[in-house]
Amino acid sequence: MPVASLMDNLIEVLEEENVQYEKLVDLAKQKKQAIIGADIAGLEKITEQEQEISSLLRNLDIRRDVVLKDMGDVLGKDFEEMTVTRLIGYLEQQPAEQERLSEVRAKIMTTGNEMREWNRRNEALLNQALEMVEFDLTLFRSMRQAPETANYNKDAYNTGDLLGSSGFDAKQ
């Protein structure tokens, strides 16, 4: 297969990967709102969509590796060393292809960085939400616990007796 058609295949795969990563960025923005609104059903739906996109990305990753392997064979390079960045360097004699590949790589890098930043923000929001849940549980538990009495023993130590939660103890 000629290098030009392999290059077209590679760029097509990389552009599709970028589209899928952009979808993940959009989902990360939606996830932020779902986390803030404590929308569990919305988070579940977003997670399902993320899993579908991750599956598509895995398939694209496999396709990209196949194309890179074929390009490595054509160029006489080892597949283990073949990356998009190295391929850009190998294309010094073909500046048009080199430029196209550089542009697609730059777009993916930008989208990946944006996605990483949104994931970091959402992770922080989730950690804060978990801290609030823990705080609420602790507060709830402490509200259900009966208060201690102000009873002291003969050595002037607090006995730590708890008031009963069944109401007043009255003799009839």
Assess if residue 22 is contained within a domain.
yes
Domain count for the chain, please give it: 1
Assess if residue 160 is contained within a domain.
no
Count of C-beta atoms within a 10 Å radius of residue 50 = 15
Assess if residue 156 is contained within a domain.
no
pLDDT band at 171 (very low <50, low <70, confident <90, very high): low
pLDDT score for 143: 73
How many helices and strands in the chain, by DSSP H and E? 4, 0
What's the CATH number where 131 sits? 1.20.58
Assess if residue 169 is contained within a domain.
no
pLDDT score for 81: 83
- Bridge partners (DSSP) listed for residue 152: 158
Whether this prediction's pTM lies above 0.85 is answered by: no
Assess if residue 80 is contained within a domain.
yes
CA–CA dist 26, 101 (Å, integer): 25
Q: What is the pLDDT of residues 131-154, one digit of tens each?
A: 888 888 888 777 776 555 566 677
Q: What is the pLDDT of residues 24-54, one digit of tens each?
A: 999 999 999 998 888 989 999 999 999 999 9
pLDDT score for 118: 94
Q: What is the pLDDT of residues 90-100, one digit of tens each?
A: 888 888 888 99
Q: What is the mean pLDDT of residues 68-82?
A: 86
Give me the domain span that covers residue 124: 3-144
pLDDT over threshold 80, residue 106: yes
Assess if residue 167 is contained within a domain.
no
